[in-house]
Amino acid sequence: EDKVVQSPLSLVVHEGDTVTLNCSYEVTNFRSLLWYKQEKKAPTFLFMLTSSGIEKKSGRLSSILDKKELSSILNITATQTGDSAIYLCAVEIRNNAGNMLTFGGGTRLMVKP
Amino acid sequence: DTEVTQTPKHLVMGMTNKKSLKCEQHMGHRAMYWYKQKAKKPPELMFVYSYEKLSINESVPSRFSPECPNSSLLNLHLHALQPEDSALYLCASSGLSTATNYGYTFGSGTRLTVV
């Protein structure tokens, strides 16, 4: 059975701190790993990672995939209160029926002023 | 257009009602999905349509009935739901090649309450 595990489950930090969120997976037919930020509504796309060792950056957020370790990390530097959200990791797999995403349980991040 | 549009945004229905959720995208994506998300849980896959054909049904009860009238539209027909079906229903689409670097695009969701 395909599995995606995120850690920690929740995290409380103060503004300006740097955080690292973890995602590990055990799946068959891996195609990509995606990170999403979810506040009150739908998940907002952050990154899609397909190649190992290549860091993707967007402002204060960055992410990297390690296919050997079957894991990915999401870093947020100089955190702000607006970064408070649930961060979801999802792995895209492909089988005979098509492509599908399996989500991890999410990391709930709270950034205090 | 890089959006997935879902309507309605909120829906309250009784257990004997019949209602439909709608989802539309114009990105040329040929795969569309319905997810269900309960509070404080990740989204759970319900259905996958690939080239307008149902390719995955994750053992969803028959009171949920998906329909894909064309490559841009995806509906979810609801009938005789239970209060435990109350959740955020998310539609998503993706290009099957995943070459766009956008990954999956989610709609803003329909928050369903069954009373």
Min distance A105 CA to chain B CA atoms (Å): 5
A97 to chain B: closest CA residue: B55
Min distance B80 CA to chain A CA atoms (Å): 25
Residue in the structure block whose two tokens are 């209602």? B19
Which of A50, A99, A104 is closest, CB to CB, to B94? A99
Residue A40 has pLDDT above 90, yes or no: no
What's residue B59's pLDDT?
87
| Strongest mean pLDDT among A12-16, A28-32, A37-41, B1-5 | A12-16
Chain B hits for A102, CB-CB cut-off 8 Å, are 45
pLDDT band at residue A97 under the 50/70/90 scheme: low
* Chain A CB within 8 Å of residue B93 CB: no
CA nearest neighbour of B15 among B84, B77, B79: B79
Residue B101 has pLDDT above 60, yes or no: no
Separation of alpha carbons B113 and B90, rounded Å? 14
Which of A34, A45, A105 is closest, CB to CB, to B42? A105
Q: What is the average pLDDT across B1-20?
A: 91
What's residue B95's pLDDT?
75
pLDDT band at residue A57 under the 50/70/90 scheme: very high
Separation of alpha carbons B105 and B110, rounded Å? 15
Separation of alpha carbons B48 and B38, rounded Å? 19
Sign of the dihedral defined by the CA atoms of residues B78, B32, A39, A104, in that order: positive
Separation of alpha carbons B107 and B90, rounded Å? 6
Residue B98 has pLDDT above 50, yes or no: no
A33 to chain B: closest CA residue: B103
What's residue A99's pLDDT?
76
What's residue B81's pLDDT?
95
Average pLDDT, chain B: 90
Sign of the dihedral defined by the CA atoms of residues A43, A48, A52, A58, in that order: negative
Separation of alpha carbons A72 and B80, rounded Å? 42
Residue type, B50: S
Contact B43 A103 (CB under 8 A): yes
Q: For B48-64, how does the pLDDT look when each residue is reduced to its tens digit (9 = 90+)?
A: 998 899 988 888 999 99
Separation of alpha carbons A93 and A33, rounded Å? 9
Chain B hits for A48, CB-CB cut-off 8 Å, are 98, 101-103
Min distance A37 CA to chain B CA atoms (Å): 11
* Chain B CB within 8 Å of residue A58 CB: no
List of E strands, chain A: 3-7, 10-14, 19-26, 30-38, 44-49, 56-58, 61-66, 71-76, 85-95, 98-103, 107-112
Sign of the dihedral defined by the CA atoms of residues B26, B27, B30, B33, in that order: negative
Which of B44, B55, B94 is closest, CB to CB, to A97? B55
Q: What is the average pLDDT across A27-34?
A: 91
Min distance B5 CA to chain A CA atoms (Å): 11
Q: For B58-95, how does the pLDDT look when each residue is reduced to its tens digit (9 = 90+)?
A: 889 999 999 999 989 999 999 999 999 999 999 999 87
DSSP characters for A27-44?
-SSEEEEEEEEESSSS-E
Chain A hits for B32, CB-CB cut-off 8 Å, are none
What's residue A109's pLDDT?
98
